[in-house]
Amino acid sequence: MSALFDHLPELWQGLVVTLQMTVVSFAGAVVVGLVIVAMRVGPVPVLRAVATVYVEVLQNLPLLVLLVLAVFGLPEIGLEAGLTTTAVVVIALYEGAYIAEALRSGVNAISAGQGEAARALGLTFGQSLRHVILPQALRTVVQPIGNIFIALTMNTSLAAAVGVVELTAAANRVNLLEAQPIPIFVGAGLAYAAIAACAGFVTGRLERRLAVAR
Amino acid sequence: MSTLLFDEPGPRARRRIRLATIAGVLVLLALLALAVRQFAANGQLAAERWQPYATWPMWRYLLGGLWSTALAAVVSAALAMAGGIALALGRLSRRRWVRFPSAAYVEAVRTIPALLLVYLVLFALPRYGLDLPLFWKLVVPLAVSNAAAFAEIFRAGIMSVERGQGEAALALGLTHAQSMRLVVLPQAARRVLPSIVSQSVGLLKDTSLGFVVSYTELLYSGKVLANYNGLLIQTYIVVALVYLVVNASLSALARFLDRSVAGGGGPGRRKITRVRR
Amino acid sequence: MVSIKRVAAVAAVAMAGLTACAGTDSAGSAVPGAAASDGGGGVLAKAPVAAAADILPGSTMEKIKKRGELIVGGSLDAPLLSQQNPVTGEVEGFDADLGKALAKYIIGQPKVKIVNSASETREALLSNGTVDVVFQTYTITPERAKQVSFAGPYYSSGLSIAVKKGTTGISSPQDLNGKTVIAGANTPAIPAIKKLAPQAKIITFGGDPECVQALEQGRGVAYVQDETLLAADAQKDPQLQIVTQPFTQDPYGIGLKHGDDQFKKFVNDWLRKIEANGVWQDIWKNSLGTVVQGEPPTPPEIGSVPGS
């Protein structure tokens, strides 16, 4: 156990990085998801096609492959950013595809009358999306989006492979020094589980608050 | 649904859309050309950097990795689905002593990274005398964690079946178990088939955790190749394409099943999103 | 309804078939073709075979001999040391060949199965008996020696620094202070840099090609890695330049199950024999010697470091 406590500062630093990455990339993913879903249900055929291809490609590639390609491939086409920045952007784009899919299923779950009513009131496409459809869609997808948040937290650990020292990488380094895998990895795992548990708690509360009696 | 949100564009709107489309596509193409030029200027398109991937041994090696990936994915998916059905039924059971542990399992496992489960099977279990063969060191944690996800999918499916179906079955004199097995579950399975396939795609991607337990699946095979030939970017592009082709085919299968098996959605059908990757 | 049943039936059959395959192929991660196929030719021709009397009854050696295969914890992706050749399926390099030589000593044939292990898993693989020995640039340290036994050291290596050609101002580890330094994840480079250049910022990548690429793209100014690996990289890539002599001493040991003193003595005896009859040197020439100039170094004295 001492292996864990002797290195608490490094592990804490790693946890902070993990939390920062989680928050920033989740915010990014929500924005990406909203844009993509708006494109997917919108009137412009090309945008619909682009959004479909986007979701299809990003959902079908392992995140690790995307991370390595972005970190080492993008500088070769003249786009270079810091490691953490690149990782955050890639995770946001990747999870954005999942959020878009979750939102789309939420939009699909809304009864058609809502869209017709919004149109009948003279709202434009953007207005009916913003004021009528998305707020209701969000309500039905709180749980799936909470799950995406949890998955995103776990996925930030893959950034370790491209040089970001987050919690998993920090744990790895400590283990390299101490060769005490069980306390170190279980400790790190508990930290992830705690983040996920918080997310689960928040989504549970949100869902109950937003629930509409049907 | 989506078409209800906007009018069919009129002639002027159509022309505007067409112009914007052409402009957008041109800008994208220009950016793409610029990127490719830069990529080539850095020597990444040089023929000798791609030539190894025109040879059979490299592909034989990668396809061997893909086979291992498929094997691990199929076995863990089968186990996870069986576990998922059991857990879903458990969670919907009327007996509290069945319902509570099932719910606890699903909620707890959902918050633990699969990587941690892999580490536990790898490090902790052997200390208690349970040392699994390598293949199972990857499959067991994947099955354990995906069982929770499948349980949620099945539960959503069962709950989406109208209560009347179960009630009608009971009214016909079927027992509770019979009505589940003969009436509710078949309908539920049909409705969640697309979610099951997409969850399986996620599981297939998760097998890349095999590199931790030293299982040479597709991604790890790519890493070995990159070390052998030093062609990092090219190797990962090829690996990415293989994943894309395989997973996109599976997703296409999911859509096909959605249309042909689920019959395009009858009345009262609700779309169910995937629960987790 | 009929079509669903058919689909389900087909899926069930397919799954049953695949599961059955998985059953027969439960050693799924065993590398196909990793077992030596050259029948002891090449560098292993001169490698000795233990006298029957040395294979003590009830010992680990006897168990391995009965099995007919030595299970080695190693890598598939360490060029010059233990790298799988995708064309032949063979695992090649200094560590890999020593493993084959040890297998020949025990069994009479260089039959090995390489279990690809990560640095996090080596101790566990040894202690639960998944592997017999570990040949994987396994640096002997007193901390590790509490969990595993080490035979050897069989090789002494050191860390060196490479930079992109034209970089100035780095000629010793201390010069790394305040700079961004690239290192392989889970390599001894990380603690070494922390000790010698505490103000350096370390970024790590999973593998050697990633590190080289990162250096070329300017993600860091220097790359700290084992001297032999750097030599191999510099040979492949003219942009790389090695700027220091090795500045650490990393004695590599052969990892064995903790407390198996009988096996440890046996492996050390074998090591003495191959160092004396030139097999060790031949293996070096055939692997590391292809990128390092000069004659093979003198092997380190067995048992000379704390923990061995």
Q: Inter-chain contact A163–C147, Cβ cutoff 8 Å?
A: no
Q: Inter-chain contact B251–A110, Cβ cutoff 8 Å?
A: no
Better pLDDT: A180 or B107: B107
How large is the average pLDDT for residues B139-162?
89
Closest residue in A to C148 (Cα) is A179
Better pLDDT: C265 or C237: C265
Contact between residue C115 and residue C30 where contact means Cβ atoms under 8 Å apart: yes
Highest mean pLDDT of the ranges B45-59, B259-273, C239-253, C293-307: C239-253
Domain count, chain C: 2
Q: Inter-chain contact B240–A65, Cβ cutoff 8 Å?
A: yes
Looking at this protein, which amino acid is placed at residue B65? G
How close A26 comes to chain C (CA, Å)? 24
Who among C119, C204, C210 is closest to A72 (CB)?
C210
CA dist., res. A58 & res. B172, Å (int): 48
How close C94 comes to chain B (CA, Å)? 15
Chain B interface, best mutation among C25, C26, C29, C257, by max B CB count within 10 A = C29
Residue C180 in domain: yes
A73 touches chain C (CB under 8 A): no
Residue C177 confidence (pLDDT): 92
Who among C124, C144, C203 is closest to A163 (CB)?
C203
Q: Round to the nearest angstrom and report the end-to-end CA distance of chain A.
A: 52
Chain A interface, best mutation among C144, C146, C217, C258, by max A CB count within 10 A = C217
* pLDDT at position C7 over 60: no
Residues lower than pLDDT 50 in chain A: 214
Q: Inter-chain contact A169–C210, Cβ cutoff 8 Å?
A: no
Q: Which residues of A touch B34 (CB under 8 A)?
A: 77-78
Q: Tell me the pLDDT band of B113, cut-offs 50, 70 and 90.
A: confident
pTM: 0.79
Length of chain C: 308
Contact between residue C170 and residue C156 where contact means Cβ atoms under 8 Å apart: no
Residue C78 in domain: yes
Residues C110 and C213 grouped into a single domain: no
CATH number at residue A51: 1.10.3720.10
B12 touches chain A (CB under 8 A): no
Residue A143 confidence (pLDDT): 81
Closest residue in C to A162 (Cα) is C205
Who among C32, C121, C207 is closest to B223 (CB)?
C207
Question: Which range marks the domain in which residue A21 is found?
Answer: 2-210
Residues C144 and C49 grouped into a single domain: yes
Residues C170 and C61 grouped into a single domain: no
Q: Which residues of A touch B107 (CB under 8 A)?
A: 200
A177 touches chain C (CB under 8 A): yes
Closest residue in B to A111 (Cα) is B1
Q: Which residues of A touch B35 (CB under 8 A)?
A: 77-78
Q: Inter-chain contact C206–A161, Cβ cutoff 8 Å?
A: yes
B247-265 in b/e burial notation, b at 16+ Cβ within 10 A?
A: bbebbeebeebbeebbeee
Q: Which residues of B touch C117 (CB under 8 A)?
A: 214
How large is the average pLDDT for residues B64-70?
91
Better pLDDT: C165 or A42: C165
Look at the block and give the residue holding tokens 């090789």. C155
Could you tell me which residues come within 8 angstroms of residue C121 by beta carbon, excluding any fewer than 6 positions away? A181, B122, B123, B212, B213, B214
Burial of B175 (0-12, 13-18, 19+ CB in 10 A): exposed
Residue C1 in domain: no
B120: Cα separation from own chain's centroid: 23
How large is the average pLDDT for residues B161-189?
86
Domain count, chain A: 1
CA dist., res. A20 & res. A23, Å (int): 5
Can you state the angle between helices A167-178 and A8-41, rounded to 10 degrees?
150
How close C205 comes to chain A (CA, Å)? 5
Helix count and strand count (H, E) for chain A = 11, 0
Residues C153 and C225 grouped into a single domain: no
* pLDDT at position B144 over 60: yes
How large is the average pLDDT for residues C69-92?
87
Give per-residue pLDDT as tens, C176-226.
Answer: 999 999 998 878 888 889 889 999 999 988 788 889 989 988 889 999 998
Q: Inter-chain contact C119–A176, Cβ cutoff 8 Å?
A: yes
DSSP B25-79: HHHHHHHHHHHHHHHHHTTTT-HHHHGGGGSHHHHHHHHHHHHHHHHHHHHHHHH
How close B259 comes to chain C (CA, Å)? 12
How close B221 comes to chain C (CA, Å)? 9
CA dist., res. C237 & res. B49, Å (int): 13
Q: Inter-chain contact B270–A109, Cβ cutoff 8 Å?
A: yes
Residue C4 confidence (pLDDT): 46
Kindly report whether the peptide bond that precedes residue A43 is cis, defined as omega within 30 degrees of 0: no
B39 touches chain A (CB under 8 A): yes
* pLDDT at position B267 over 70: no
CA dist., res. A129 & res. C193, Å (int): 55
Q: Which residues of A touch B270 (CB under 8 A)?
A: 109
Residue A22 confidence (pLDDT): 95
How close B16 comes to chain C (CA, Å)? 43
How close B257 comes to chain C (CA, Å)? 9
Give per-residue pLDDT as tens, C28-46.
Answer: 333 433 334 444 457 888 8
Residues C100 and C222 grouped into a single domain: no
Q: How many CB atoms lie within 10 A of CB A1?
A: 10
Q: Tell me the pLDDT band of C89, cut-offs 50, 70 and 90.
A: confident
Q: Which residues of C touch B227 (CB under 8 A)?
A: 77-79, 83, 207-209
Closest residue in B to A67 (Cα) is B236
Could you tell me which residues come within 8 angstroms of residue A13 by beta carbon, excluding any fewer than 6 positions away? A165, A170
Chain A interface, best mutation among C120, C127, C201, by max A CB count within 10 A = C120
Residues C235 and C96 grouped into a single domain: no
Residue A85 tokens read as 């920045």
Question: Which range marks the domain in which residue C272 is found?
Answer: 42-157+251-290
* pLDDT at position C6 over 50: no
Neighbours of chain B (3+ CB pairs under 8 A): A, C
Q: Inter-chain contact A200–B276, Cβ cutoff 8 Å?
A: no
How close C233 comes to chain B (CA, Å)? 9
CA dist., res. B141 & res. B76, Å (int): 9
Q: Inter-chain contact C129–B216, Cβ cutoff 8 Å?
A: no
A43 touches chain B (CB under 8 A): yes
Instruction: For chain B, give the mean pLDDT.
Output: 82
Q: Inter-chain contact C118–B126, Cβ cutoff 8 Å?
A: no
CATH number at residue C210: 3.40.190.10
Residue A214 confidence (pLDDT): 47
Q: Which residues of C touch A169 (CB under 8 A)?
A: 185, 204
How close B242 comes to chain C (CA, Å)? 17
Residue B125 confidence (pLDDT): 74
Residues C144 and C279 grouped into a single domain: yes
Residue C127 in domain: yes
How close B103 comes to chain C (CA, Å)? 28
Residues C186 and C261 grouped into a single domain: no
Q: Which residues of B touch A78 (CB under 8 A)?
A: 34-35, 38
Residues C257 and C137 grouped into a single domain: yes
Is the CA virtual torsion B272, B274, C2, C5 positive or negative?
A: negative
Q: Inter-chain contact B248–A56, Cβ cutoff 8 Å?
A: yes
Residues C234 and C259 grouped into a single domain: no
State percent of chain C over pLDDT 70. 86
Distances (CA, A) of C108 to C31, C69, C112, C260: 21, 10, 12, 22
Q: Inter-chain contact C120–A160, Cβ cutoff 8 Å?
A: no
Q: Which residues of C touch A161 (CB under 8 A)?
A: 185, 205-206
Residue C211 in domain: yes
How close C208 comes to chain B (CA, Å)? 7
A125 touches chain B (CB under 8 A): yes
B223 touches chain A (CB under 8 A): no
Chain C interface, best mutation among A6, A85, A86, A165, by max C CB count within 10 A = A165
A75 touches chain C (CB under 8 A): yes
Residues C138 and C99 grouped into a single domain: yes
Residues C151 and C279 grouped into a single domain: yes
Closest residue in B to A133 (Cα) is B5
User: With a cut of 0.90, is the ipTM above it?
Assistant: no
Chain A interface, best mutation among C126, C127, C210, by max A CB count within 10 A = C210
